[in-house]
Chain A
Amino acid sequence: MTQRSATHVLTGTRIRERRLAMSRRQADVAREAGISAAYLNLIEHNRRPIGDKLVGRIAAALDVPVEELSAGREEARLAALREAAAQVPALSGHAMPELEQAPEFLARFPGWAGLLIAATRHAGGLERQLIDLSDRMTQDPYLLTTLHEVLSAVTSVRSTASILAEEGDIPAEWRSRFHANLSADSLRLSTTAQSLVAYLDGFETEGGTFTPQEEVEAWMAAGAPDLSDSADLASDAARVLARAHLDRLEQDRRRLPDASLAQAGDLGDPLLIAERLGAPLDLVLRRLAALRPPGFESAGLLICDGSGALTLRRPAPDFPLPRPGDACPLWPLFQALATPQVAISTRVVTPQGQAFDTLSHATRSQPQGLAGPVLTQAQMLILPAREAAPAATPVIPIGPACRICPRGDCLARREPSILAPGLHGPQALTGRPHPAN
């Protein structure tokens, strides 16, 4: 079964489930949607493709939001189910879930699927929190220093108290000195213990179930409310990231005001916009993603540093984005890192067949002068593809991340997929040449 037909299975089954849940007759819904009952029957049994317009009419007939029936929302939830399945190898004694039945499961039992997704995310959050706390316990310089301080004070108190208690004849000068040392050490112990307790208390509130980056993403998804009022920003690190994000937005806005960008937005091509405005392309890409003028309403933006680590993840709707820390090596964003100052226009296609037009561009800088390090940053503007790709535009099949990517013929695979049996990558093990070689 192809990915596209799997989507149709989803939509048809979903329509049937919703209709039956409402105790509506097939003929009534079909009439309201302007199709025959026989055709609706074929659709419900996934034997006919269904276009977006017809989905909209059937949604109206069933009185449900079109998103309830459309594929995009379900694809995101399917991806979340695959993420959940990816956890199985870590759980001993559990058989691999029936991945091929995930669409059916999602369509038939949306509540249970939602619960599974939520539980998996919660468990993932707790796992990250545990790792975070473990790292902090073993590597946190503040904890190490504070515990050393406690240990030193206790050692001093124990030795000094023993001397005073057990040594009979102690010169007055020494006795006085030891009393002063005891007083100082007890005060030091008291202060350090209070600091330690306060610090450990902070673990519970700071070490939430998300990474700081995820907190910032949730905050951005909520419309970037005032930092002091945002419940999404639980950790200090997330607030620092959010503040830096706002500062950068403001700096960008000053350098390229909304009015200027709006005037040039009709050009469509970001390079032409940059040329007309005399602005650097990286600034134009960020401003287009932030302002989203006409023609860029669904724009997404990914930014990575020279190591390839994503520092901003604001995807276009339905763009397959995995959990933080993971990515598809075929995203043109990473190609841009190797060819800075060159704009790379690429159409990418997801495993589900959704196409996006991307424009990637990397910049290099030396903010500390000649003696400083060279810093690289790449950006990728993402737009849902609206037209057929020009003949010269390369089309790259991409995925979310290897572990939850079903592509069996990908030469960039670095680890086995849970979605396609027999995909064992990485390349070094299969002996196939890497596409870059």
Chain B
Amino acid sequence: MMLDILMIEDEPNIAEAVRFILMREGWRISLHADGAGGIEAIRAQRPRLVILDLMLPNRSGEEILADLRAEDDLGLAATPVLMLTARGQTGPAAEQADAVLSKPFANDDLCALVRRMLGQGGDGG
């Protein structure tokens, strides 16, 4: 079954909370904890949405986003990306994201944004 969301986030407690919230909404979500290998994880799992932290070890969220948008596979390159940032932290590359959510965020805001980006509620758990 197709993966709904791949979250690339190096903070395990944030990733765990987000995973719980979105799973309760019915989305299928997978986690990747390092900037290194981020683009490979996207290629391999081909999620419908990527939630991408901006500040990641080894390879930043901006770099991963730039890698994604440069993919030859246009379908993959157009994967919607929700960027998690600190307020005012977005740079030029982050403008290629489809949405930006500032940390700390309300769980309801995150769910509403994901629903809007994926177009429908999830059905898995």
A residues sitting closer than 8 Å to B (CB atoms) are 147-148, 151-152, 154-160, 162-163, 166-167, 174, 177-178, 181, 184-185
Contact = CB atoms under 8 A, between A and B. Distances in A.
A152 B11 contact: yes
11 contacts: A152-B11, A155-B103, A156-B11, A159-B14, A159-B17, A159-B21, A159-B104, A163-B17, A166-B107, A181-B17, A185-B13
Contacts, number: 52
Nearest to A147: B86
Interface string B86-102: 10000000000000000
B12 to A, nearest CB: 8
Given A156-B17, A177-B16, A184-B13, A151 B104 contact: yes
Given A148-B55, A148-B86, A155 B14 contact: yes
A184 B12 CA distance: 11
A360 B30 CA distance: 66
A341 B16 CA distance: 64
Nearest to A181: B13
Interface of A is mostly: helix
Contacts of B1: none
A252 B14 CA distance: 57
Contacts of B24: 167
B107 A155 contact: no
B29 to A, nearest CB: 14
B112 interface: no
A184 B13 CA distance: 9
Contacts of A163: 17, 20-21, 107
A156 B13 contact: yes
A151 B86 CA distance: 7
Given A152-B11, A156-B17, A177-B16, 13 more contacts: A148-B86, A151-B104, A152-B14, A152-B103, A156-B11, A158-B104, A159-B14, A159-B17, A159-B21, A163-B17, A178-B17, A181-B17, A184-B13
B74 interface: no
Contacts of A154: 103-104
A184 B14 CA distance: 12
B9 to A, nearest CB: 9
B107 A162 contact: yes
Contacts of A181: 13, 16-17
B103 A160 contact: no
A155 B20 contact: no
Contacts of B14: 152, 155-156, 159
